[in-house]
């Protein structure tokens, strides 16, 4: 089989790239290790930057989002009972869109199927060959038989545990990593959100986040120990702990109910350089991970897709390779700024096991400064709504 762009991974990065290319008549085949149902069962991101919304529109998949998504003009940061409101419109001139990653992925799969574009699910043993040559190809096993997909380019959209990054020889690759000494325990519940905007809550008991998917579906997170097990957190224990970490006013308004999903995610900052090796391009979590505190993972996957899509478009339409040759440099320049913001939000709002009294005072002083400084609020707002591409 032959295609122009072989896309490894049918998560949001691979699907968005595939749909954008398809609209321009560029052929792509997606190879996905899991079933579609499995990909759609992952509850992950919830906050979309305008750049991602614009790409969804360009890909022709924004109709449902435009009908159903919530626009948030700001967010709240709290420290025990003190609250700072960050006004996105005032400081950054735009809002963010609250719409689940599950919905983004569902809309992209539907459009892909309607277009008759090919996605091959449950592939095993994907290997990328000749990425540093003019004739790359991908081999994989489907239903027990080995297959070969020849292509012009390979887009490695296969997430943090995928094969694409590891295809780049270690002698060429540099990895930067910071692992945080805690995780996030998240639940989804069919209850109305506690507040019309997200609340990022720092407290002496650790961090908590009040988020949502829609007016009837809430998403809450608690900073937890890495040794915690989901099974040992009953719904009741979760709600009790959440009430202790958020401002009293919110705790009193909180509507609780049974959880419909509960999971623990570790927190990590990670970047690999370069993001291109010959004809192989890494996109999204395959190349970088952020702790979720700044809501940036999916959004930085989208900015990679933007750079790669435009690079490929110039190659096919104008025979201009500048975009693909400079892909890694352009993508990484933005990635590192997003890494900094996510690390900063995480450092500001969590309790660290080894934290000294001095460290704590620094966090408190920074939050106090944020609450009285327009400039500091503007810096947070501009990063949160999304840096320009
Ligand atoms: P994904 O979503 O991991 O998709 C990769 C796909 O590749 C497949 N795959 C393979 N396929 C073929 N062969 C192989 N060898 C393969 N290996 C893997 C996988 O099955 C999968 O389908 O990566 P992608 O597309 O780059 O998308 C990245 C985002 O999913 C991720 O950055 C976000 O979810 C991060 N994230 C958030 N991002 C935001 O922008 N805003 C948020 O509010 C936000 N909240 C979050 C988050 C991530 C979280 N977790 C659980 C990590 C909250 C949480 C709790
Ligand atoms: C979410 O709704 O899942 C969410 C929102 C904001 C974050 C992280 C996760 O910073």
For 301-336, write each residue's pLDDT tens digit: 999 999 999 999 999 999 999 999 999 999 999 999
User: Is pLDDT above 90 for 49?
Assistant: yes
What mean pLDDT comes out for the span 64-72?
A: 96
Distance CA 158, CA 13 (A): 8
Kind and range of the H or E element at 154? strand 153-156
For ligand 2, which residues put their CB under 6 angstroms from it?
Answer: 45-47, 198, 209, 211, 219, 292-293, 295
Q: How many CB atoms lie within 10 A of CB 67?
A: 7
Could you confirm whether domain 180-267+352-385 is CATH 3.40.30.10?
A: no
**pLDDT confidence of 351, banded at 50, 70, 90?**
very high
- Does the bond joining 274 to the residue before it have cis omega, within 30 degrees of 0? yes
Contact at 8 Å (CB) between 389 and 305? no
Strand order in 276-277's β-sheet? Answer: 119-120, 28-31, 5-8, 153-156, 280-282, 276-277
Total-model pTM:
0.97
**pLDDT confidence of 42, banded at 50, 70, 90?**
confident
Question: Hey, which residues are catalytic here?
Answer: 72, 200, 292, 296, 384
Q: How many CB atoms lie within 10 A of CB 237?
A: 12
Contact at 8 Å (CB) between 348 and 203? no
244 Cα to the center of ligand 1, angstroms: 30
Ligand having the closest approach to the CA of 38: 1
Q: How many CB atoms lie within 10 A of CB 252?
A: 10
**pLDDT confidence of 131, banded at 50, 70, 90?**
very high
Domain boundaries, the chain: 5-72+95-177+268-346, 180-267+352-385
pLDDT per residue as tens digits for the range 136-162: 999 999 999 999 999 999 999 999 999
Beta bridge partners of residue 5, listed in sequence order: 28, 153
297 Cα to the center of ligand 1, angstroms: 8
- Work out the percent of the chain whose per-residue pLDDT is above 70: 100
Distance CA 118, CA 181 (A): 41
User: Is pLDDT above 90 for 353?
Assistant: yes
Distance CA 236, CA 234 (A): 5
Contact at 8 Å (CB) between 279 and 152? yes
pLDDT in the model for residue 346: 98
CATH class, 5-72+95-177+268-346 region:
alpha beta
For ligand 1, which residues put their CB under 6 angstroms from it?
Answer: 8-14, 31-34, 39, 44-47, 101, 123, 126, 157-159, 161-163, 184, 186, 265, 284-285, 292, 295-299, 301
Ligand having the closest approach to the CA of 9: 1
pLDDT in the model for residue 44: 85
pLDDT per residue as tens digits for the range 4-40: 999 999 999 999 999 999 999 999 999 999 999 999 9
pLDDT in the model for residue 45: 85
212 Cα to the center of ligand 2, angstroms: 8
pLDDT in the model for residue 285: 98
């Amino acid at each position: 089989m032959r295609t122009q762009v072989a896309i490894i991974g049918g998560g949001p990065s691979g699907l968005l790239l595939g749909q954008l290319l398809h609209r321009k008549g560029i052929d792509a085949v997606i190879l996905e290790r899991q079933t579609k149902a499995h990909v759609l069962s992952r509850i992950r991101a919830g906050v979309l930057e305008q750049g991602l919304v614009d790409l969804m529109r360009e890909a022709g998949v924004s109709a449902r989002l435009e009908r159903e998504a919530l626009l948030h003009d700001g967010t709240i940061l709290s420290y025990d009972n003190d609250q700072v409101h960050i006004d996105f419109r005032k400081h950054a001139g735009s809002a963010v869109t609250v719409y689940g990653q599950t919905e983004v992925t569902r809309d992209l799969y539907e459009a892909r199927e309607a277009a008759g574009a090919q996605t091959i699910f449950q592939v095993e043993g994907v290997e990328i060959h000749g990425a540093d040559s003019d004739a790359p190809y991908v081999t994989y096993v489907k239903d027990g038989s080995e297959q070969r997909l020849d292509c012009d380019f390979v887009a490695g959209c296969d997430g943090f545990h995928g094969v694409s990054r590891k295809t780049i020889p270690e002698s060429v690759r540099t990895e930067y990593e910071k692992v945080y000494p805690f995780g996030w325990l998240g639940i989804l519940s069919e209850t109305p959100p506690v507040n019309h905007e997200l609340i990022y809550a720092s407290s002496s008991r650790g961090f908590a986040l009040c988020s949502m998917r829609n007016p009837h579906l809430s998403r809450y997170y608690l900073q937890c120990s890495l040794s915690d097990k989901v099974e040992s957190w009953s719904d009741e224990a979760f709600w009790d702990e959440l009430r202790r970490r958020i401002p009293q006013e919110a705790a009193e308004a909180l509507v609780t109910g049974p959880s419909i999903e509960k999971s623990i995610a570790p927190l990590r900052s990670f970047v690999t350089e370069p993001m291109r090796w010959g004809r192989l391009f890494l996109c999204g979590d395959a190349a970088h991970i952020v702790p979720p505190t700044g809501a940036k993972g999916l959004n930085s996957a989208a900015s990679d897709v933007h750079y790669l899509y435009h690079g490929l478009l110039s190659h096919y339409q104008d025979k201009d390779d500048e975009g693909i040759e400079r892909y890694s440099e352009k993508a990484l320049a933005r990635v590192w700024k997003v890494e900094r913001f996510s690390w900063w939000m995480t450092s500001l709002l969590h309790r660290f096991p080894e934290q000294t009294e001095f460290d704590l005072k620094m966090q408190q002083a920074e939050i106090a400064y944020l609450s009285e400084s327009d400039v500091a609020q503007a810096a947070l707002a501009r990063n949160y709504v999304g840096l320009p591409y």
